[in-house]
Each structure stands twice: as C-alpha cells, then as structure tokens.
Structure 1
Amino acid sequence: MEWFTADGYWLSRLIFQRALAVVYLAAFVSAALQFRALIGSRGMLPVPELLRYTPWRAAPGLFRLHYSDRFFALVAWTGAAVSLALLAGLDAHLPLGAAMALWAVPWVLYLSIVQVGQVWYGFGWESLLLETGFLAVFLGNSGTSAPVLLLWLLRWLLFRVEFGAGLIKIRGDECWRKLTCLEFHHETQPMPGPLSWFFHRLPKPVHRVEVAANHVTQLVVPFLLFTPQPVASVAAGLMVVTQLWLVLSGNFAWLNWLTIVLALSVVDWSLVAGRPPAQSAPPLWYEVVVLAVTALVLVLSYRPARNLLSRRQVMNRSFDPLHLVNTYGAFGSISRMRLEVVVEGTDEPVIHDGTRWLEYGFRGKPGDPRRLPRQFAPYHLRLDWLMWFAALSPAYARSWFGPFVERLLRGDRDTLRLLRHNPFPDGPPAHVRARVFHYRFTDWRELRATGCWWDRTYVRDFMRPVARPVPLAPGGRPPSGGEGGV
C-alpha cells in the first residue's frame, strides 16, 4: 500500500519524537520529586486509600497490582530513564516492534501515575500527554517510513486542542468577545512568569490585538492543518508562534510545549531535511496495527467531536479510562481579581493581638511582593497550582488543604520540600493559619518607589489558626491542660 507511508516526513517524525521525550522527562521528574507529600502513603491524599474505594475498571494501571512509595518512585524514575533513552535515539537502533514497545513503556507508566493522581493530576495536559504518547507508540522508527494515518491523527489531536480552546473562550467569558480578557489575564493567571508583569503593562490596544490574534489562531488556523503543503506548515508555524508567546507570558506546565511538539509534526521539513535514511517497506502486521488504531481513535472521537459542537461544551474531559481521545480547552472564564491564599505560622503557644506570624514561601505562586515570579514550565508545581484554585473557592481545597496544614504543623519534610521557604527551620510552628489577600501588579511608579512587583491587601480569613497536635501522654490521653489538636 504505497499510500500508507509518507517518506518526506521522516524528519518531522524524528523532531516530534525527540521533543515528546523531553516532555515525558519533565512529567516523570515532576512526579518523582513531588509524589510523597501529595499522594504517597503518608501524603495528603494517599494512594492506598484511593485504591480501596475505586474499582479497577475506573482507573486501570500498575498500582492496582501493588502500591508502595518505593514502587511509585521506581515507576517515576524508570519513566524518566526511558525518556532519556528515547531522547538519545535508542528507538532508532531497535527493530520496529521493539521500538514500539519502548515507546509504550512511558505511556503505561505515566497512565498508571495519572490514574492515582487524584486532584493533583486533574489537568488537561495530563490527558494531552497520554493521548499524544499513545499515538507516538505507533509512529514507528527511522527504519520505516512514517505512516500517513498516524500523521493525520496527530493533526486531528492538534485541531481539537486549538479549536476546543478557541470555542470555549468564545462561548464562555464575554471579555473574549470584547477583546478585553488580556487586560486581566496576565495578572490573574494561575502562575505568572518573570515577564508577566511586563505583559500586563502593555497598552490596552496591544492586549486587544493579542486576543484577536488568539481567536484567529484557534478558530480559523486549525482548519488549515488539513490543507496541502505548504499551507499546513504555515498554519502549524502560526500555532508555534502563538504558543511561544504564551510560554513567555506565563507558566502552564508542559501544555504550551506539548502543543508545539504536535505542531512540529505537521511541518514539512523536506527543504532542510536532506537525504532521508534508508527505510524499508512496513511489514503487514504493522499496517494492520496502524489501521486498527486509526479505526479505534475515529470511533472514540465521536464524543469529543460532539462536545466541540455542543453549546454546553466542557473542557479537559476524558471519555474513556485510558485517556485515548479527549476534549481540551482553557480559560473559558477569566478572573478580574487575583486572590492568593497566604499561609502563616507562629511558634508562640498562646495567640494574642501581638502574635508574630511568619509566612511560608511557595516556589511558583505569588507570595513576597518583592519577589519577581519565576519561570518553571514545563516543570509542574502541583501544590502551587492547587493553591490558586483554592483562592478562587475553598471547595477546590476541601480534600487536601486540611492535611496540608496538618503536615506543616508536624514539620513534615516531604511537604516542606515542596515549598521555597520554611520560616521554622528549627521545629514546627505551634499554630498555622491562612488568609486571603488581593494581589495586583504594581505600576512603573510603584515599582521604582518600593521595589515591589506586587501590591497586596488583606481580604478575609481562609482558615482560622489551627494548633499543633498534642502528643499523647502514657495511656493514650492528652496531658492535662493541653490544647486540642487539628
């Protein structure tokens, strides 16, 4: 079947595979370094408890067979090691079947992690990585020409990512239709980056141009992905430029980078590719597998496609337990005011009007007004992201914020490693509280006068002071006169 392969896309596939390996690496390292405090056996939302009340069919994965923190670490670091091997091009030196098996390893490992990640892994880019990784398994290696059907499925995925995001904006917040959303978004986005302050201070007409360009890129350009070259390459290039703009203006984990990776698979690199490596005709079994996968994806695409056309469109939804074909979208509504939960502690045993409270510092989310936001993406700071959601509504923090505070009161080392600054290095505090502040970017005059990138104003209490748990006296009873625990 001569139509089955696209010889000219060997470099497109190579660039896509190596770039995807980098995203996989970031995802596995993020998981390995953060899981103990978040979902470990003694974490805020322990995996063993999740496995007790959820059926296998709802979330299949390796941890259904066995869970321990040591095994989770093995899974995460094995995924990182395999990602490095794929980045180095090990798959190119293997037979086709072995190369496909190697690409299946990180997909299975990361699927297993997402299945037990709970709210910490409830982001659209988790499903996007899994869907992209699933398709990558069947792309083959340098010994075989790239299969046309898989290249089209990658375009279909990229289309849903961009078009879904565009539709959810137009159908959602009216500021997208009025071209005014970016007058707020750079300031109120979940995790600003080092240039976000400068993006926010751009003139309002520039913000309108930003929004209009975004609409064109997400609502018009995606259809050009299915046109002949070089038009499809130009469309993909426009998407890359737009995503790089987003990379510069904020921190969105690997969402932007993975979208860029997908766009690079569309580009026709034949003008710069040079002579392709020797490629053999694909074996019959491979053709059958690719045809079967294509049919599966098309069948599973029905519900995501219907969601795109629905007036009640939802975003970032998986329609099957393996996250094979999903629906995507981002920022259907924009916050006009930035609220931040500030967590503080004191080592004073009795609270009074003059109690001195010290603030915990987070790595990514705003805290100290003098601290310029940092760049972390594609690394994903999960606690910082959930803190942003908590400020929007306490309901987002109902399951994990209490356990988080409890671990601060215990001085839990794994939890403290997630933070930038622990104000109590010599021992845990006696009390912890949380308050909500309104944060806004300062202007040029305020920045020069105060050196502060942010101005913040107290709004309300988020959680009243909670005392450190009292150790039990012999016999299992609190000592007389002791304070109550968490």
Structure 2
Amino acid sequence: MEWFTAPEYWLSRLVFQRALAVVYLAAFLGAALQFRALIGERGMLPVPRFVERVLFRHAPSVFHLRYSDRFFSAWAWTGCAVSVGLIAGLDSQLPLWGGMLLWLVPWALYLSIVNVGQTWYSFGWESLLLEVGFLAVFLGNDEVAPPIVVLFLLRWVLFRVEFGAGLIKMRGDACWRKLTCLYYHHETQPMPGPLSWFFHHLPKPFHRAEVAANHVTQLVVPILLFTPQPIATAAASLMILTQLWLVLSGNFSWLNWITIVVALSAVEFPTTAPHVAGPPLWYEVVVLAVATGLLALSYRPARNLLSRRQVMNRSFDPLHLVNTYGAFGSISRVRYEVILEGTAAAMPYEEAEWREYEFKGKPGDPRYWPRQFAPYHLRLDWLMWFVALSPAYAGSWFTALVERLLENDRDTLRLLRRSPFPADAPPHYVRARLFRYRYTTWRELRETGACWHRTYVRDFLPPTRLETEAERRIPY
C-alpha cells in the first residue's frame, strides 16, 4: 500500500526518536536518584504499602509481583541504559521487529514506575511521555518509511495537548480572557527558573500580548496541524517557538520538551529521503490495528475537550494510552512558601536557634537565585508548591517528610540542597512556617542582591519531635 508510508518524514522520525530517548533518559534518571526517599521501602509513600491496597488491573506494574529498593533501582537504571542505547541509534541497527521491541522496553519500564508512583507521579507529563512513547514503538526504523497513521496520531496528541490547554484557560480563570494572567504567573508558578524574575518585570502591555499570542497558538494553530504542507510545518514550528519561550521562563519538568519533541514529528525537513523497501504486511496489519484501537480510545478525551466540565491531565485507561491534558486553568495571584526549620534546642522556644532547610528548586533563601533544572524533575520541590497553596495537599507524605528530617534520613536529605544539621546530630524539633513571597523590584535587587522578599504569615506546622521509647510504650 503506497499510501501507508511517508518517506519525506524520515528525518522527522529520526529527530523525534532521538529527542524522545533523551526525555526518557531524564525521566529514568530522576526515578533512579529520587525513589528511595519518595516511594522506597522507607519512603514517604512506600510502594509495598500501595500495592497492598491497589489491584494490579487498576495500576499494572511489575512491582505488584515483587518489590525491593534494589530491584527498583535496577529497573530504573535499566531504563537509563536503554534510553542511552536509543539515543545512540541502536534501534536502527536491529531488524524492524527488534527495533519495535526495543522501543517497547522503556515504555513498559516507565509504566511500571508511574503506576506505583502515587502523588509523586500524578502529573500530565507522565501520561504524555507514556502515550508518545507507545506511539514511538510503531514508528519503525531505517528498514521502512514512517507510517502515515502513526504520524497522524502524533499530531492528534499534539492537538490535544495544545488545544486542551487553550480551552481550559478560556473556561477557567477570568484573567486569561482579560489577558492579565502573566501579571502574576512568572512570580507564582510552581518552580521559577533563572530568568523568571526578568520575565515578571516585562512591561504589562507585553504580558497582555503574550497571553493573546498564547491563545492563538493554542486555539487556532493546532487546527493547522491537519492541513497540507508547508502549513503544517509552519504550525508545528510556531508551537516549538512558543514552548522554547516557556522553557526560558520556568521549570516545567519535561512538559515543554516533550511537546517540542512531538511537534518535530510534524515538521517536514527539506532533505532527500533514502530509498527503502516497502513495509512488510505484518507491520502494516499491526500498525493499522493499533491505530484503530487508539482512535476508539480517543472518544473520551475528545468528549472531554468539548465538555463544559473539562478536566485536566486525566488518564482514561491504566496503560495511559490516550489521555487528556491541560495546564494552569487558574492562576495564583500571591505566592506562598512553606519553610521547614529545625532546632537542636531541648525545648522549642521561639528564641531558640531555628535553622532553615534549603531546597534545590523551590524558593527559600531570598538571596538564592533559582536554577534551571528542567527537563529533570524535582518531585519533592514541586509537591511543596501545592502544600503552600492549601494544607489539603499535605497528605501523609508531608508528615513522613518531617519524620525523616528528624531522623536525618540520608536519602531524604539528598533531595535537598542543604541540611543545616550535621549527619550525626539531627534536630530535636522541626517546624513549618508559611511565608508570602514576592519578587523584589529592580531597586531592591541592586540594594540587597535578593530576588525575593518574604513576609511571615503564620505557623503551618507547630514544633514536632519524634516520640521517645518511653512515650511509645505508654498506651493511649
């Protein structure tokens, strides 16, 4: 079937596959380096406890069969190794079926991690990576030209990401319709980047123009993805430029980067396609069968787009094959931060010396300038932003975090930039206080060197200590 493939997209596929492998590497690397404190055997939300109460069919994962920290570590590092192999083009050195199986490996590995990751893995970019990673399995390698139906499904993903984000904004916070959301967003976003302070201080008319341009990019341009070339390439290129602007203005894990990766698959690069043989019949049958199934599963995400009660970042099946996306339907006007402090004093008096724990990405010390971490994802820092929005987000993991700090837990402290206590002398008490943060002005920055100004609001968690052995023996 000559219509089945699009040889002119061979370079688009190559760039897409290598870039997707880089995103996979960032995801597996984050899992390998952070899991022990988050979901390990002594983690804040342990996997063994999770799989005891959640059935396999609701969250398919190899860790339902067996879990140990050593096994999880090997699983995550295997994902890193496979990702490196894909970056190097190992799939092109294999026969078609072997390349497809190789691309299936990181998808299956990461699915097992996401489905037991609980709160730490509850964000849209996890499902987006799995959905796009599954499509990559059927995109083929150098033995065949890229199949048109898979390229179409990648554009369908990109359409849902952008159009869904545009609709959730128009249906959500009024500031999107008034073009004023960027008066606040760069200051109140979950994890500011090194340039966010400067973005915030751009003139307000420029911010209004940014929002208007965003509406065009998310509500009009996605439709052009399904038009003939070169219009589709122009539409995808505009989306890539918009995403790069977002990369510069904040730290959004790999959300922006994987959106760029998907958009690259729609770009027709001006190059001569190499001659390849026609696809084998079994490959055509498999691709068409999978495409038919995915289109059938697209019913609920498509219905969600048209619904007045549109939801963001929802998976409709446990394999995360077809999902709904969206971001920042509402914008916070004020930034709050939960600051954790400890003291070595025997009693938690206010006049005791309280020392602050410093995180890698989330604001803390007003003089500490934000760093660029994306596409690497600092999961604890990100959840701390939600806790500051509302205590309702401080589930059992927050209590467990405080306990780990009181124990000077090595794996937990590795998630932080700095602990104020020596490894052999944990604090006697830990408390949490809520502060209001705002960016400093140009004048304040010159005079103090601080990019943030903060004001104490209230106590978030009173001074807390570990129970003594005698207290644990007392019946209540």
Into which bin does the TM-score normalised by the smaller protein fall? Answer: over 0.9
- Specify the code of the residue in structure 2 equivalent to 1:92: S
Aligned residues: 475
Segment drifting more, 463-472 vs 339-348: 463-472
Q: Which residue of 2 aligns with 1:370?
A: 367
Query: Structure 1 residues 348 and 291 mapped into 2: Cα distance closer, same or farther (>3 Å)?
Result: same
- In 2, the alpha carbon distance for the partners of 1:115 and 1:472 equals 39
Residue by residue over 1:416-455, the C-alpha shift from the partner in whole angstroms, topping out at 9 and shown as x without a partner, is 0000010002421000000010000000011111111000
- The structural deviation recorded for 1:92 is 0.4
- In 2, the alpha carbon distance for the partners of 1:48 and 1:353 equals 39
- In 1, the alpha carbon distance for the partners of 2:262 and 2:381 equals 27
Residue by residue over 1:194-239, the C-alpha shift from the partner in whole angstroms, topping out at 9 and shown as x without a partner, is 0000000000000001100100000000000000000000000000
Q: Is the 8 A contact 1:409 1:469 kept in 2?
A: no
- The structural deviation recorded for 1:67 is 0.8
Q: Is the 8 A contact 1:143 1:278 kept in 2?
A: no
What is the correspondence of 1:237-248 to structure 2 with a 5 Å cutoff?
237-248=237-248
- Specify the code of the residue in structure 1 equivalent to 2:341: E
The yes-or-no answer on 1:276 pairing with 2:273 is yes
- In 2, the alpha carbon distance for the partners of 1:351 and 1:129 equals 46
Q: Is the 8 A contact 1:30 1:379 kept in 2?
A: yes
- The structural deviation recorded for 1:56 is 1.0
- The structural deviation recorded for 1:472 is 5.5
- In 2, the alpha carbon distance for the partners of 1:277 and 1:358 equals 63
Q: Which residue of 1 aligns with 2:184?
A: 184
TM-score (norm 2): 0.98
Q: What secondary structure sits across from 2:152 in the alignment?
A: helix
- In 2, the alpha carbon distance for the partners of 1:471 and 1:32 equals 34
Choose from 385, 388, 413 the match for 2:385. 388
- The structural deviation recorded for 1:477 is 4.1
- Specify the code of the residue in structure 2 equivalent to 1:254: W
- Specify the code of the residue in structure 2 equivalent to 1:85: G
What is the correspondence of 1:290-329 to structure 2 with a 5 Å cutoff?
290-329=287-326
What is the correspondence of 1:62-461 to structure 2 with a 5 Å cutoff?
62-269=62-269, 271=270, 273=271, 275-425=272-422, 426-461=424-459
- Specify the code of the residue in structure 1 equivalent to 2:15: I
- The structural deviation recorded for 1:159 is 0.1
Q: Is the 8 A contact 1:429 1:468 kept in 2?
A: no
- Specify the code of the residue in structure 1 equivalent to 2:81: A
Query: Structure 1 residues 278 and 371 mapped into 2: Cα distance closer, same or farther (>3 Å)?
Result: same
Q: What secondary structure sits across from 1:348 in the alignment?
A: coil
- In 2, the alpha carbon distance for the partners of 1:209 and 1:42 equals 49
- In 2, the alpha carbon distance for the partners of 1:469 and 1:244 equals 49
- In 2, the alpha carbon distance for the partners of 1:7 and 1:353 equals 70
- In 2, the alpha carbon distance for the partners of 1:193 and 1:470 equals 42
- In 2, the alpha carbon distance for the partners of 1:31 and 1:52 equals 21
Q: Is the 8 A contact 1:135 1:154 kept in 2?
A: yes
Structure 2: unaligned runs, 5 residues or longer: none
Q: What secondary structure sits across from 2:184 in the alignment?
A: helix
Query: Structure 1 residues 226 and 402 mapped into 2: Cα distance closer, same or farther (>3 Å)?
Result: same
TM-score (norm 1): 0.96
- In 1, the alpha carbon distance for the partners of 2:449 and 2:300 equals 51
Q: What secondary structure sits across from 1:146 in the alignment?
A: coil
- In 2, the alpha carbon distance for the partners of 1:216 and 1:37 equals 42
- Specify the code of the residue in structure 2 equivalent to 1:466: T
- Matched-pair identity in %: 72
Segment drifting more, 275-284 vs 448-457: 275-284
Segment drifting more, 404-413 vs 393-402: 393-402
Q: Which residue of 2 aligns with 1:24?
A: 24
Q: Which residue of 1 aligns with 2:461?
A: 463
- Specify the code of the residue in structure 2 equivalent to 1:246: L
- In 2, the alpha carbon distance for the partners of 1:213 and 1:264 equals 21
Q: Which residue of 2 aligns with 1:481?
A: none
- Specify the code of the residue in structure 2 equivalent to 1:222: P
Q: What secondary structure sits across from 1:167 in the alignment?
A: helix
